[in-house]
Structure 1
Amino acid sequence: MNQIDKHSETWLAVTEWAQSQRLEAIESLIANQESERQRGKIDLINQLLCLTDTEDDPVIVSDSYS
């Protein structure tokens, strides 16, 4: 569905930013500052971070020689 290269420097920068924003939102949620807004922000960031999750990633199977 998407064409995001999860190994690119750009995506790495996006994930670092998103994770820091998520931590700030969690801290605000714990401090009970605009709780509903913080929950929404956390949910959107989680959705953003899941964009590179795909079910069609190949599974690598290796033989066991034991």
Structure 2
Amino acid sequence: GVILGADKAIVSKLLDQGKSLEKIYTIDRHIIAAVAGLTADANILIAQARIDSQRYQYTYGEEQPVE
């Protein structure tokens, strides 16, 4: 197993402390991603990774490998 940890440090008082500060994302049941820095850029990559994982499962009928 793998354990991921993330710190939600507030860098600016102007940032909204809502869901946008999430640092660990679930891509699929067996794939998790952790991001560093501002999450706005990571949100696009996370969304694309989720789409790719779903597309793989639809095409091949099995979960996307993690290799």
Same-fold status (TM-score > 0.5): no
Q: Greater Rg, structure 1 or structure 2?
A: 1
Give the TM-score of the pair, scaled to structure 2.
0.39
- Point out the structure with the larger helix share: 1
Structure number with higher relative contact order (C-alpha < 8 Å, ≥ 6 residues apart): 1
- Point out the structure with the larger strand share: 2
